[in-house]
Amino acid sequence: MPHLKPLHELLQEVTATSDRLILSTPDAPDRLVRFDTEILVRGINSVKSVNLLLEGGHWEHASGIIRQLFELLVNMEYLGKQPDRLEATLLYCRFGLLQLVREQHRHCTYSRDTGRLVDQEHLAFLEKLLDEAFDDFQGAPTADGSVRWVGSWSRKTARALADLSDDTMRPHQYDHLFTSWSEQAHAAPRSLIDNVFRDAGEGWVSEVMESDTRKVIEAANLTVAMFVALWGELPHAVPLPPEKALVWMRTMMQFIAAPEFDHLPGYRVDS
């Protein structure tokens, strides 16, 4: 969207600065540094992906990526509240290993069930891991007695994590991303209704452009706000200079014509 070029330049500035800063991460053996850095890299790549889509006006497709950024944020907020962050990080990573094992197991069983060659020794190893290595992630068994795995490392939904956040905006952001924009992320019937029933009368192109512009700006605002907040939850990552965060947020507020944001929940930047 050419008329929003300054907005896209802001998002490019966010990711370019982040890329430069992350290169200064020390090559330390500390796994907490590696963990926080990888979370930050995922966040940076999410912002890049959102900007690529918004440049084409595809805010509805960007909504799914913004949801991913939101889930990273609420998980890191909750992880940071745990009495022992290292222990919580290890739990997070163990759940990731469980997901990896389950993914490989599903791939093996799919190959077996569709007549493809399967490494039986590898399949047996995966089944042994699932039987013995992740008991702490097993929930109540299903009605037929099979294993039911918990849904997340924290045993909490994104909604619950949003409610537990110290930031009062999180539940509202959840409602917006997982309710108001949920139909867009899933391409549900609601996502098509405006176009199906829009009259192609005089001025309809301008109306569409105006509506899309508002949505693009809103999507960019959510992206920048949550990315800055995510970075603040990563104490072992390279620090984000407060003055940079302040400039980004002030610039974003100018695009949405918001009043001074220092006292608005969800947009505070510590100096």
Q: pLDDT digits over 2-29, tens only?
A: 678 999 999 999 999 999 999 988 777 7
Start-to-end C-alpha separation, the chain: 34
**Ranges of each domain in the chain:** 2-82+157-255, 85-137
Q: How far apart are CA 42 and CA 45, in angstroms?
A: 5
Q: What is the pLDDT of residue 266?
A: 46
**C-beta separation of 36 from 236 below 8 A:** yes
Q: What is the pLDDT of residue 179?
A: 86
Neighbouring C-beta atoms of residue 113, cutoff 10 Å: 9
**Mean pLDDT throughout 236-259?**
88
How far apart (Å, rounded) are the C-alpha atoms in residues 227 and 233?
Answer: 10
- Alpha helices of the chain — where are they, by DSSP H? 5-22, 31-55, 59-80, 85-113, 120-132, 158-164, 170-175, 182-185, 190-197, 204-232, 242-255
Q: Give the CA radius of gyration of the chain.
A: 22
Supply the pLDDT for residue 114: 95
Mean pLDDT calculated for residue range 55-73 = 95
**The predicted structure's pLDDT at residue 169:** 94
pLDDT tens per residue, range 31-48: 899 999 999 999 999 999
Q: How far apart are CA 119 and CA 130, in angstroms?
A: 17
Averaged pLDDT for residues 256-262? 55
Predicted local confidence at residue 205, as pLDDT:
53
pTM greater than 0.75 (yes/no): yes
Backbone angles phi, psi at 200, to 5 degrees: -85, 55
Higher pLDDT: 232 or 267? It is 232
What is the rounded CA–CA span in Å between residue 186 and residue 191? 8
